[in-house]
Amino acid sequence: DAEMAAREQAEEEAAAQANRASTLLRDLTDDEADIVRDAIYGIGRPDEILATSDTDSVQRQSLHKLQPGVWLNDEVIHYFLLMLARRDAELAAKQQPGRKRCHFFKSFFITKLLDEAGGYNYKNVKRWSRKVPGKDIFALDKIFFPVNVSGMHWTVAVIHMSEKRIQFYDSMSGSGNRYLEGLMQYLKDEHMAKKGCPLPDADEWELVESTPDTPQQRNGYDCGVFTCMFCDFLSTDCPLTFSQEHITQCRERIALSIMKGVAIE
């Protein structure tokens, strides 16, 4: 009986997750479609700033990169992650009190931590954790690290803190070993620096290369969109149910989130 109840509960949770995932790719309302169309195709000065949040902003020419078939730049990706962080804060404040927070670093974190020559430099990022919610990375649920591989390909590494797992998500099936190992060392160094003792149960942590069921792109330009969607779905515990067929929809979702000032649900 207990086994059957557990199975039923697991099936219910899976169905709820799938339902949440399907709403992430909902159709836009007419008003939303107008906002997206103007953002992606609107005419105006290329350097005109269309969205601003603190010290970050997005220019018209960057939003135009959300047109189908165009490679995303770091301005769009970083700003969208800011919108995910804002949604995460709202979820924690309103709907789910006690919900552990997520944090989204910019891609500069990885380039500071791991240099082109293969070196590892904890001191370069030692102060970065002051900016995470609660100023303690070990109290978070997930930490997202976008990676621009060789300036050619966007991916993301995610520390699943509660599950003691670091996983690489790559829409072109790269292993991400270097990033996984670098982030594991970062966790050890951060714990020693901030808590004054070694990371407990360090041997229980799992490093997971990009898995075969990670959604894959079928061209050379959609990697940034996949990376944004990995962050979008994972930050609300949604299974990665999107695929190449959804990518135009995903581009519109990113544009709408940027223009509305918070990631849409």
Edge to edge, what strands does the sheet with 165-169 contain?
Answer: 102-104, 142-149, 153-160, 165-169, 206-208
User: Of 170, 222, 231, 238, which one is the catalytic site residue?
Assistant: 170
Closest-CA residue to 203 (of 160, 164, 163, 158) = 164
What is the SS3 assignment for 40?
Answer: helix
Beta strands at 56-59 and 49-53: parallel, antiparallel or unpaired: antiparallel
Q: Is 191 a catalytic residue?
A: no
Q: What is the DSSP letter of 48?
A: -
Q: Is 103 a catalytic residue?
A: no
Evaluate whether 41 touches 255 at the Cβ level (below 8 Å). no
Distance separating alpha carbons of residues 173 and 127, to the nearest angstrom = 32
Whole-angstrom CA distances from 189 to 39, 121, 194 are 42, 10, 9
User: Of 102, 103, 222, 223, which one is the catalytic site residue?
Assistant: 223
Q: C-alpha angle 7/98/82, rounded to 5°?
A: 100
User: Of 153, 222, 238, 250, which one is the catalytic site residue?
Assistant: 153
Q: C-alpha angle 252/48/57, rounded to 5°?
A: 65
Q: Is 170 a catalytic residue?
A: yes
Residues with active-site annotation: 153, 170, 223
